[in-house]
Amino acid sequence: MFKRYKNFNVYVGRQKHRTYYTEYLKNHPFSVETFSRLVDHIKDTFSENDEAKVLEKRYF
């Protein structure tokens, strides 16, 4: 079963296993709290002075 999901990070993998991918997304909904924690962590990692550098290096 794991092999079906291992290629979700690339477009071709999601297309190849579209049915499984759709079910996976339905069964694992987007978590706003998790995303917010990730954003907070990223913000804590870089100081305000680093904003231009972060954007220049295309981290986002």
Q: Are 43 and 28 in contact (CB under 8 A)?
A: no
pLDDT given at position 27? 92
pLDDT in tens, 2-47: 455 567 788 888 788 889 878 888 998 888 998 899 888 888 877 6
The contacts of residue 46 (CB under 8 Å, 6+ apart) are 54
Q: Where are the domains of the chain?
A: 2-56
pLDDT at 1: 47
26 three-class SS: helix
- Residue with the larger pLDDT of the pair 49 and 30: 30
Which residue matches tokens 């972060």? 54
Output the pTM of the full model: 0.39
Q: What is the pLDDT of residue 49?
A: 65
The pLDDT value recorded for residue 33 is: 92
The CA distance from 5 to 31, in Å, is 19
Q: Are 21 and 8 in contact (CB under 8 A)?
A: yes
